[in-house]
Amino acid sequence: MVRDGYLYGLTLLAVAAAVYFLTGAGAWALIPVLLAAFFLWFFRDPRRTIPQGEGLIVSPADGKLTSIEHVITPSGESLRLSIFLSVFNVHVNRSPISGTLREVRYQKGEFLNAMNPESAAKNEQNLAVVESDDGHEVSFKQIAGLLARRIVFRPKAGDRVERGERIGMIKFGSRVDVLMPSYAELRVKIGDNVKGGSTILAHIPDMVAEPMLAELEVETLV
């Protein structure tokens, strides 16, 4: 359970108790009780089994994969996967890979529907760039949705993060974009429901072994 769940839940239960004792109307007290139950459920934080293996990229969020496309970024061509989180999904976010957090950039903005393509540029958002130990960069962007009004991100630039580690959350409906190298081998497709920290989105192949092998073959022929 995320701490916010206890905060909202217990506060609303206290309100329900006050309403009942002051008015004696159980029907009116039921409203804050139901809201308390919703917040306790919404801020759940289930344990996840983190996949082990070299080069794996796991989902940073729970939700439905709505888009897979090639995009041009300042560092070159990348694959971008978009995950839509409804109000019914777990909203705790996790790191997609292990590595060093090279950049964290927060941007204030609007609160367009997260399904709107313009939300990726205009909405409140937080970008995090992680560099793996073997030099691959994977970034993920927390994008606030129509209902979301706060993005939480705990680590700071320079911190070490581990694959599947809890790093923050987006409150209520939202979206998370993941950018990975264009040569990553996808393990998911549009329409898939993914789980943060446990669903493998892609695998980054060993791009170093092949050139080294080619050099050895050339040396042998010479």
- Strand duo 63-73 + 193-194: pairing: antiparallel
Instruction: Between 104 and 214, name the one with better pLDDT.
Output: 104
Q: 209 falls in which pLDDT band (50, 70, 90)?
A: very low
DSSP 96: S
Distance CA 187, CA 210 (A): 22
Which element (helix H / strand E) includes 8?
helix 3-23
Question: Does residue 183 sit within a domain?
Answer: yes
Question: Does residue 121 sit within a domain?
Answer: yes
Question: Does residue 49 sit within a domain?
Answer: no
Q: Do 112 and 153 belong together in one domain?
A: yes
What's residue 146's pLDDT?
66
Q: Kindly tell me if the per-residue pLDDT of 43 is higher than 50.
A: yes
Distance CA 25, CA 145 (A): 36
What's residue 217's pLDDT?
47
**Active-site annotation, residues:** 174
Question: Does residue 141 sit within a domain?
Answer: yes
Q: Do 121 and 164 belong together in one domain?
A: yes
pLDDT, average across residues 75-85 = 92
Q: Do 32 and 102 belong together in one domain?
A: no
The widest CA-to-CA distance across the chain, in whole angstroms, is 94
Distance CA 164, CA 166 (A): 6
Q: Do 165 and 127 belong together in one domain?
A: yes
Looking up residue 151, the CATH number of its domain turns out to be 2.70.70.10
Task: For residue 211, give the amino acid letter.
Answer: P
Distance CA 151, CA 172 (A): 10
Q: Do 16 and 111 belong together in one domain?
A: no
Q: Do 135 and 194 belong together in one domain?
A: yes
pLDDT, average across residues 122-144 = 91
What's residue 87's pLDDT?
84
Q: Kindly tell me if the per-residue pLDDT of 94 is higher than 90.
A: yes
Q: Do 30 and 65 belong together in one domain?
A: no
Residue bearing tokens 């293996």: 53
Which element (helix H / strand E) includes 150?
none
Question: Does residue 215 sit within a domain?
Answer: no
Distance CA 30, CA 24 (A): 12
Q: Do 83 and 193 belong together in one domain?
A: yes
Domain that holds residue 189: 56-203
Q: Do 37 and 62 belong together in one domain?
A: no
Nearest Cα neighbor of 134 from 186, 181, 199 is 181
Which element (helix H / strand E) includes 7?
helix 3-23
What's residue 147's pLDDT?
62
Q: Do 111 and 37 belong together in one domain?
A: no
Q: Do 117 and 11 belong together in one domain?
A: no
Question: Does residue 210 sit within a domain?
Answer: no
Model pTM?
0.81
The number of beta carbons lying within 10 Å of the beta carbon of residue 74 is 5
**Residue 41 φ then ψ, to 5°:** -75, -40
Question: Does residue 18 sit within a domain?
Answer: yes
What's residue 16's pLDDT?
81
According to DSSP H, which parts of 26-107 are helical?
26-42
Q: Kindly tell me if the per-residue pLDDT of 219 is higher than 60.
A: no
Question: Does residue 192 sit within a domain?
Answer: yes
Q: Do 197 and 97 belong together in one domain?
A: yes
Based on the structure, what is the number of domains in the chain? Answer: 2
